[in-house]
Homo-oligomer: A and B are copies of this chain.
Amino acid sequence: MPVTTIEWKNHKIRMIDQTRLPTEEIYFDIDDIEVLAEAIRSLRVRGAPAIGIAGAFGILITVHGYKGSDPLELLKQIKETGDYLNSTRPTAVNLSWAILKMRKRAETLKTGSLEAMRQGLTEEALAIWQEDRDCCRALGRHGAELLRDGSTVLTHCNTGALATADYGTALGVVFAAHEAGKRIHVYADETRPLLQGARLNTWELLNEGIDVTLICDNTAAFVMQQNKIDCVILGADRIARNGDTANKIGTYNVAVIAEKHNVPFYVAAPYSTIDFNLANGSQIPIEERAASEVTDGFGRKTAAEGTNVYNPAFDITPNKLITAIITEHGVIKPPFEVNLAKNKTDV
């Protein structure tokens, strides 16, 4: 049973601290927006769907912490909380998507009682959480059709239960295939600089009894050259309406080497990751993170003093390198501009 990454419990957010894995499994409660913002920025909670849920639950912290009696004043505070949380991580669209959903619901409730607003927004946030759980399982079942007994899958970054409420996107596909009785072998890119593949994927896969081999990111091409990879499945932080995909830095590299070796390249993501406002990937903002993630990552200084570092957290993979996008509505093939739009719904 994959881990529950984030949930709403006793009017607080309960989450696992992902920075402590794999050596320590520690859960903690949050009822303060500043603490939540720090948890998102420092990647205690990370993964596009999971930070979307964290954003919705963040609004609930404001809602349940409100001591006044004026729904309109609370609505104003909700907007402020939303703007603040949106600023923590710019690339993943799920965060702003979930916050927008909460705001829109709040708008519809502003003329009623405070209690009704509190009740309605709690339902909305829990629905976002439940929708993620259902989405990932549906997505996993669709994606599992692409795998046979004995398939070998390359992953990049963590896209498991830890990136969502409790199941996963790309790893959800692996979990679903495993549950269907197929033996799957995963090659996990370690995913520098923060090693989500090494720290999180190995922990999740071994917990489920699924074979995993850890490799450095630079080794995947050599493994493909040896014909050891049947397909790549990885996640997304934002997908433009033409299919161009922002995901963890190194994803574009994997797409290029997969193309070279004729290995199918699948993106697995719920529809909430698709930003239909953007025509293509060039419009997706790319977060750059601190140099120290690269130079001081493991408790030891590993570059000369004064070294300049380029540390983008994400890159953009053009749609033409993507074989298909696995969603809760099925496996979407090119042309993505046309085929993604077929299942579009408004927030």
Any chain B CB within 8 A of the CB of A274?
Answer: no
A202-B304, A300-B299 known; A312+B252 contact, CB < 8 A = no
**What residues on B are CB-neighbors of A256 within 8 Å?**
221, 256-257, 260
Q: Which of A35-43, A192-200, A328-336 contacts B (4 or more CB under 8 A)?
A: A192-200
- What residues on B are CB-neighbors of A193 within 8 Å? 216
Residues 14-56 of A, flagged 1 when their CB comes within 8 A of B and 0 if not, give 0000000011000000000000000000000000000000000
Interface 1/0s, chain A 208-222, versus B by CB < 8 A? 000111111111111
Pairwise interchain contact B252-A214, C-beta atoms closer than 8 A: no
A206 touches B304 (CB 8 A): yes
Which A109-160 residues sit within 8 Å CB-CB of chain B?
A: 156
For this chain, the copies found in one complex come to 2
Q: Indicate whether A262 reaches chain B with its CB closer than 8 angstroms.
A: no
Whether A298 contacts B302 by the Cβ 8 Å rule is: yes
Q: Given that A256-B257, A301-B22, A302-B199 are known contacts, is A312 also in contact with B217, CB under 8 Å in the complex?
A: no
Contact B303 A198 (CB under 8 A): yes
Which bucket holds chain A's interface residue count? 35 or more
Q: How far is the CA of A220 from the CA of B212 in the complex (A)?
A: 26
A181: interface (CB < 8 Å): no
| Chain B residues near A195 (CB-CB < 8 A) | 302
**Given A253-B257, A257-B253, A260-B260, A308 and B190 touching (CB < 8 A)?**
no
Query: Are B304 and A203 in contact (CB-based, < 8 A)?
Result: yes
The distance in angstroms between the C-alpha atoms of A83 and B309, with both chains bound, is 43
A256-B256, A303-B22 given as contacts; is B308 within 8 A of A213 (CB)?
Answer: yes
| Residue among B202, B215, B250, B310 making CB contact with A310, cutoff 8 Å | B215
Specify which of B212, B225, B253, B294 is in contact with A198 (CB 8 Å cutoff).
B294
Q: Which residues of A289-334 have CB atoms within 8 Å of chain B's CB atoms?
A: 294-295, 297-312, 315-316
- Taking the complex as formed, is A223 at the interface, i.e. its CB lies under 8 A from any CB of chain B? yes
Q: Considering the complex, give the chain B residue whose CB is closest to the CB of A193.
A: B216
Chain B CB within 8 A of A86 CB: no
Q: Give which listed residue, B214, B219, B307, contacts A212 with CB less than 8 A.
A: B307
- Closest approach, in angstroms, between the C-beta of A37 and any C-beta of chain B? 25
- Closest B residue to A220 using CB positions: B253
Q: Which of B23, B215, B310 contacts A214 (CB 8 A)?
A: B310
With A310-B219, A312-B222 already in contact, the answer to whether A214 and B249 are too (CB < 8 A) is no
16 contacts between A and B (CB under 8 A): A22-B304, A190-B192, A190-B303, A192-B217, A195-B302, A198-B307, A202-B303, A212-B308, A214-B294, A215-B294, A217-B217, A219-B311, A221-B256, A223-B310, A256-B256, A297-B298
Query: What residues make up the interface of A, taking CB atoms closer than 8 Å to B?
Result: 22-23, 156, 187, 189-193, 195, 198-199, 202-203, 206, 211-223, 225, 249-250, 252-253, 256-257, 259-260, 294-295, 297-312, 315-316
